[in-house]
Chains A and B, each alone.
Chain A
Amino acid sequence: MQRARNIVAATLAAIAVATALPALAQWTPTKPVEVIVHTGPGGGSDVLARAIVTMMEKEKLVPVRMQVINKPGGNGAVAAAALSEKGNDSHTLGLVTSVWIANALTTAEAKVTVHDLKPIAQLMLEPAVFAVKADSPYKTLKEFVDAAKAKPGALKQSGGSVTSRDNIVRQQLQHATGAKWAYVSFPGGGERLAALLGGHVDIMVIEPQEAGEQVRAGKLRVLAQLSEKRLPGYPDAPTLKEAGFDIQPTPQVRGVVAPPAMPADAAAYWEGRFARLRETPSWKKYVADNQLEEHFLPGEQFRASIQEISKQLREQFVLAGIKVVR
Chain B
Amino acid sequence: MEVFSGLLQGFQVALTASNLTLCVVGVVLGTVIGVMPGLGPSATIAMLLPLTFKLEPTGAMIMLAGIYYGAKYGGSTTSILLNVPGESSSVVTCIDGYQMARKGRAGAALGMAAIASFIAGTFGVVALMLVAPPLAQMSLAFSAPEYFALMVLGLTMVVLLAGESLTKAVLAMLVGLWIAGMGTDLFTATSRFTFGRLELLGGIDFIIVAIGVFAIGEVIGNMELEKPAQMIPVPKGLRNLLPTWDDMKRCRFAFLNGSVVGFLIGVLPGAGATIASFLSYGIEKGVSRHPEEFGHGAIEGVAAPEGANNAETGGALVPLLTLGIPGSGTTAILLAALVLWGFKPGPLFIQDSPQLFWGLVASMYIGNVLLLVLNLPLVAVFAQLLKVPSYAMYPLILGISIVGVYSVSSSMFHLGLLAGFGLLGYAMRKLDYPTAPLVLGLVLGDPMEKALRQSLMMSQGDLSILLRPIPSVLLGIAALLLVVPIFKKFNAVRVQVIDREA
Contacts and interface: CB of A to CB of B under 8 A. Distances in A.
A215 to B, nearest CB: 9
Interface stretch (B211-219, B239-247, B320-328): B320-328
Given A72-B202, A184-B144, A322-B188, A216 B346 contact: yes
A208 to B, nearest CB: 12
B60 to A, nearest CB: 14
A179 interface: no
Contact of A71 (B42, B196, B347, B410): B410
A201 to B, nearest CB: 7
B201 A109 contact: yes
Contacts of B370: none
Contact of A198 (B46, B143, B186, B270): B143
B270 A191 contact: yes
B395 interface: no
Interface string A62-102: 00000010111111011001000000000000000000000
A187 B188 contact: no
B50 interface: yes
A193 interface: yes
Interface string B325-358: 1110110110110011010111111000000000
Interface in B435-472: 450, 454, 457-458, 460
A107 B201 CA distance: 9
A111 interface: yes
B299 to A, nearest CB: 35
Interface string B285-325: 00000000000000000000000000000000001000111
B342 A289 contact: yes
B184 interface: yes
A153 B324 CA distance: 30
B187 interface: yes
A73 B203 CA distance: 8
B457 A184 contact: yes
Contact of A217 (B336, B347, B409): B347
A107 B198 contact: yes
B157 to A, nearest CB: 23
Given A42-B46, A73-B199, A217-B348, A107 B460 contact: no
Query: Interface extent on A, as a size class?
Result: 35 or more
Contact of B198 (A111, A193, A209): A111
Query: Interface extent on B, as a size class?
Result: 35 or more
A182 B194 contact: no
A54 interface: yes
B133 to A, nearest CB: 12
B42 A41 contact: yes
A135 interface: no
Interface in B158-191: 184, 186-191
A171 to B, nearest CB: 13
A268 B143 CA distance: 49
Contacts of A219: 347
A25 B200 CA distance: 43
Interface in A23-69: 40-43, 46-47, 50-51, 53-54, 57, 68
A163 B144 contact: no
Contact of A193 (B53, B325, B333, B409): B325
A161 B346 contact: no
A40 to B, nearest CB: 7
A249 interface: no
Contacts of A216: 344, 346, 348
Contacts of A107: 184, 191, 198, 201
B333 A109 contact: no
Interface in A178-233: 182-191, 193-195, 197-201, 209-210, 212-214, 216-217, 219
Contact of A153 (B53, B186, B199, B460): B460
A191 B144 CA distance: 10
Contact of B346 (A183, A199, A217): A217
Nearest to B344: A213
Nearest to A111: B198
A120 to B, nearest CB: 22
Contact of A78 (B188, B198, B327): B198
Contacts of A185: 186-187, 450, 454, 457
B202 A161 contact: no
A21 to B, nearest CB: 37
Contacts of B140: 194, 197-199
Interface string B397-430: 0000000000001110000000000000000000
A51 B340 contact: yes
B189 A214 contact: no
Contact of A200 (B184, B323, B458): B458
B445 to A, nearest CB: 14
Given A219-B347, A289-B342, A190 B189 contact: no
B199 A74 contact: yes
A156 interface: yes
A5 to B, nearest CB: 59
A210 B188 CA distance: 26
Interface string B197-211: 111111000000000
Contacts of A77: 198, 201
Nearest to A212: B344
A194 B325 contact: yes
Nearest to A196: B140
B186 A191 contact: no
A18 to B, nearest CB: 42
A162 interface: yes
B490 interface: no
A322 B152 CA distance: 30
A323 interface: yes
Given A42-B46, A184-B457, A198-B143, A191 B202 contact: no
A50 B50 contact: yes
A191 B139 CA distance: 11
Contact of A323 (B144, B190, B200, B347): B190
A42 B68 CA distance: 14
A54 B198 CA distance: 32
Given A68-B46, A194-B139, 8 more contacts: A71-B410, A74-B202, A75-B201, A107-B191, A108-B196, A188-B269, A190-B269, A193-B323
Interface of A: 40-43, 46-47, 50-51, 53-54, 57, 68, 70-75, 77-78, 81, 106-111, 153-154, 156, 161-163, 182-191, 193-195, 197-201, 209-210, 212-214, 216-217, 219, 289-290, 322-323
Interface of B: 42-43, 45-47, 49-50, 53, 139-144, 184, 186-191, 194, 196-202, 269-270, 319, 323-327, 329-330, 332-333, 335-336, 339-340, 342, 344-349, 409-411, 450, 454, 457-458, 460
19 contacts: A40-B43, A42-B333, A42-B336, A51-B340, A70-B43, A73-B409, A75-B202, A78-B411, A156-B457, A191-B269, A194-B323, A195-B144, A197-B140, A198-B142, A209-B339, A210-B324, A213-B346, A216-B344, A217-B347
Q: Which 5 pairs between the two chains have the least Cβ-Cβ distance? A: A213-B346, A41-B46, A42-B333, A198-B140, A217-B347
